[in-house]
Structure 1
Amino acid sequence: MSYPGYGQPPPQQGGYYQQQPPPPQQYGAPPPAQGQYYQQPPQGYGQQPPPPSQQYGAPPAYGNPPPYGAPPPQQYGAPLPQPYGAAPPPGQYYPPPQQGAYGAPPPPPQQYGAQQGYGQPPPQQPYGQQQQPYGQPPPQQYPPYGQHFPPTPASLGYGAPQIIAYNGDAEAHGLRSAMKGFGTDEKALMRILATKDPLQINTIRDAYSRLHRRDLIADIKSETGSWFEAGLVALARGPLQNDVHLLREAMSGIGTKEKALNDVLLGRTNADINAIKGEYHRVFHRRLEDDVRGDLSMKTERHFLIVLGAQRAEDSAPIVKAEIDRDVNDLYGATEGKTGTDELKVCSILSTRNDNQIRAIAYEYQQKYARNLEDVIRREFSGHMEDALLFQLRNAVDKFMHQATLLEDAMAGAGTKDYLLVSRVVRFHWDRNHMANVRGAYEKRYRRNLASRIKGETSGDYEQLMLACIGEQV
């Protein structure tokens, strides 16, 4: 079974099939927000999907995708201007209300009693209060990046334990029956484990231990093998435990699995990073920061320690034009504007801004310097640091398209990178609506169905498990 809409245009809801795109954006127009490739993905985990809604700045019409960092065409209907100091909704960025096309004459001076706009002098203060010095900018309206804004909630499975209206006893008995006695019922294992959300998985694992006095992970390892076993174990662990085991495996032995570090740690919210650090210490009795420090070196080590500091701007932090311009100037001064590169300045900006802010920075950099920020990073960096910075940038510009390219990266070239394919498919599968968008992005970029691509790279029970994780009926 495939997701609805494959092979035919979906309704005009802001997805990737659109009519003729509007004219290109002008200087000063708001940078695009991430869109969705599927507005009505299949219902997942017994919950109704959110109603379709057109998103400002959705990806452009079906065709060759633009390079990362290049904004998609603006959707019809620009947002209304906001008063100076008002926080725009998350994912949107408002230009100055009076600002016109680049090179247009300045607006007339504001009249007394008119609504104050972006960049206008501060309103007249009551008699007896200190006046703002002439010619100086108005006071900062927002706190520094990421401070004093509501925190982004942890992802499902990363927060505090929750009691849910779900009893996993039947699934626990089903798993034991599938592995008890002679032979193993692989399809029963897939059917139970590949269709549950993180909270249900935790409930099933606890029920298995309570009812059968056995460890579910150990039983799976004893009854299965190869990459089929790896996929089932990743599912049974749940997203948080699987992340910490991936990190430990990536830093154990000779060498470092750098892509695994990128996958688990980059682009995560502060709440998720803190949950990963706490679980890593609980499971392995080691500080994650110490292991990263011992496994990486020089400025790449400092880059990942900034990430582990969990100081990203929360998703609720607004986009402030003056701060975006400052970051654009700092990025230019750290890369193209000087001899040599200030690597840590670039790492700090991309590791402490939220996705909406990074997307606005990439857009404004292109507008101001007529160069793609991704190309700048490619010229100025190399090795693991280049890969990590590109990961952070691409994840912010278009998360679904970026994750589609990660899946292709695991299957491209000679041989399949099974370790990456299993970990990435399982990670994306925890949210069915999210997976539907990744599948849509994959088909748009590579002109083929993700399921057929996986079939060409895998076989047997391993193939069936990966297909079940992306939503195929097996």
Structure 2
Amino acid sequence: MATITAKSNFNVAEDATTLREAMKGFGTDEDIIIDILTTRTNNQRQAIANYFKNDLERDLIDDLKSELGGHFEDVIVALIMPPTEYLCRELNRAMDGAGTDEETLIEIICSRENGEICKIVDTYESVYERPLTEHMCSETGGELRRLLTLILTGTRDDSKIINAEEAKEKAQALYEAGEGRWGTHESTFSAILAHENFKQLRLIFDEYKNISGNTIEQALKHELDGDYLDALLTIVECIQSPPAYFAQRLYKAMHGLGTDDKTLIRIIVSRSEIDLEQIKEEFERQYNKTLTSYVEQGETGGDYKKALLAIIK
């Protein structure tokens, strides 16, 4: 369930005019910006942005950037961007410049089914005039690169059909590629986890436990390590429960020294119209604290914190 739903009696001209007035003259009314943009769906925000462009002859994002700053600006701009374009920007940021943020690549690419991946791939090339797969391949290596390439090239089965006999065969293949041999045959793990549809993978994982006595997570942790392990575990966790996976990511982003603000913003904004309510429930179940209280007690402050809390509700 979403925390942001469509506002009834939505009036695009009224919202756009109110936002423009909040940014005109001396000072900015941040509360108005938060109130409007965190209570409208992305489709409604796109309508507001289009009104700015066509009727006010202004760019909403440029106006916001000229008035805001820091992580508060990051949240508000993320809300205004079309969702797929926003994820593509996050992927580009993860690969641009020195070093690569593999955690972000893994979170975005390994948590989504084929339909979403196809939209991301098409949008990335349109926006950055470079194929996402090519860019990713230039920034990663080894088994992680092979796995992400398989996912990005759309090899996952879209049928949602399950086959019990094939599940047993694939579970046996996974066992023989890892626990059942000396050494690990990583390509088998990549091929199966990147090709099979999510419903079939659930069945394969059930069969794996029948064969091995261990869960697929236990087997992966025993056989593999590093970013490749994290990528495979992300697939497994998102097949079992995307809200549980994203709750863990949010906790990790806020726990310990410092806050991973990019991850915090990305998950809260990108899941706000999908399953942020369930993520909140999972967060409380796993950590005995509400997500709201964790954000309130965290290092974030001011209008940035207000905006996050308004999205979380």
Q: TM-score range by the shorter chain?
A: over 0.9
**Larger Cα Rg: Structure 1 or Structure 2?**
1
Amino acid at match of 2:310: A
The two structures, once aligned, show a CA RMSD in angstroms of: 1.8
Find out whether 1:275 has 2:119 as its counterpart: yes
Find out whether 1:290 has 2:125 as its counterpart: no
Alignment of 1:52-201 (within 5 A): 168-201=12-45
Cα displacement (A) at 1:42: 7.2
Match of residue 205 from structure 2: 362
Find out whether 1:387 has 2:230 as its counterpart: yes
Task: Find the aligned partners of 1:416 and 1:43 in 2 and give their Cα distance.
Answer: 24
Partner deviation per Cα, 1:64-112 (whole Å, 9 max, x = no partner): xxxxxxxxxxxxxxxxxxxxxxxxxxxxxxxxxxxxxxxxxxxxxxxxx
Cα displacement (A) at 1:269: 2.4
Say how many residue pairs are matched. 312
Partner deviation per Cα, 1:365-410 (whole Å, 9 max, x = no partner): 1122111211111121111111111101001111221111111111
Any unmatched runs of 5+ in structure 2? none
Cα displacement (A) at 1:166: 6.2
Residues 360 and 340 (structure 1 numbering): CA distance in 2 closer, same or farther, change over 3 Å?
Answer: same
SS of corresponding position for 1:371: coil
Find out whether 1:349 has 2:310 as its counterpart: no
Residue of structure 1 aligned with 2:297, choices 456, 467, 470: 456
Any unmatched runs of 5+ in structure 1? 1-37, 48-164
Match of residue 308 from structure 2: 466
Match of residue 101 from structure 1: none
Partner deviation per Cα, 1:1-59 (whole Å, 9 max, x = no partner): xxxxxxxxxxxxxxxxxxxxxxxxxxxxxxxxxxxxx8xx8783258xxxxxxxxxxxx
Find out whether 1:251 has 2:212 as its counterpart: no
Match of residue 310 from structure 1: 154
Structure-2-length-normalised TM-score: 0.94
Task: Find the aligned partners of 1:46 and 1:177 in 2 and give their Cα distance.
Answer: 21
Contact conserved, 1:324 with 1:361, CA < 8 A, in 2? yes
Higher helix share: 2
Residue of structure 1 aligned with 2:217, choices 374, 393, 417: 374
Task: Find the aligned partners of 1:452 and 1:400 in 2 and give their Cα distance.
Answer: 18
Structure-1-length-normalised TM-score: 0.63
Find out whether 1:45 has 2:6 as its counterpart: yes
Task: Find the aligned partners of 1:287 and 1:358 in 2 and give their Cα distance.
Answer: 28
Amino acid at match of 1:341: T
Match of residue 222 from structure 1: 66
Residues 220 and 46 (structure 1 numbering): CA distance in 2 closer, same or farther, change over 3 Å?
Answer: closer
Match of residue 23 from structure 1: none
Match of residue 319 from structure 1: 162
Cα displacement (A) at 1:311: 2.2
Task: Find the aligned partners of 1:186 and 1:338 in 2 and give their Cα distance.
Answer: 60
SS of corresponding position for 1:212: coil
SS of corresponding position for 2:271: helix
Contact conserved, 2:205 with 2:215, CA < 8 A, in 1? yes
Amino acid at match of 2:93: E
SS of corresponding position for 1:413: coil
Contact conserved, 2:177 with 2:185, CA < 8 A, in 1? yes
Contact conserved, 1:358 with 1:397, CA < 8 A, in 2? no
Contact conserved, 1:327 with 1:361, CA < 8 A, in 2? yes
Task: Find the aligned partners of 1:229 and 1:193 in 2 and give their Cα distance.
Answer: 12
Match of residue 422 from structure 1: 265
Task: Find the aligned partners of 2:62 and 2:33 in 1 and give their Cα distance.
Answer: 14
Match of residue 91 from structure 1: none
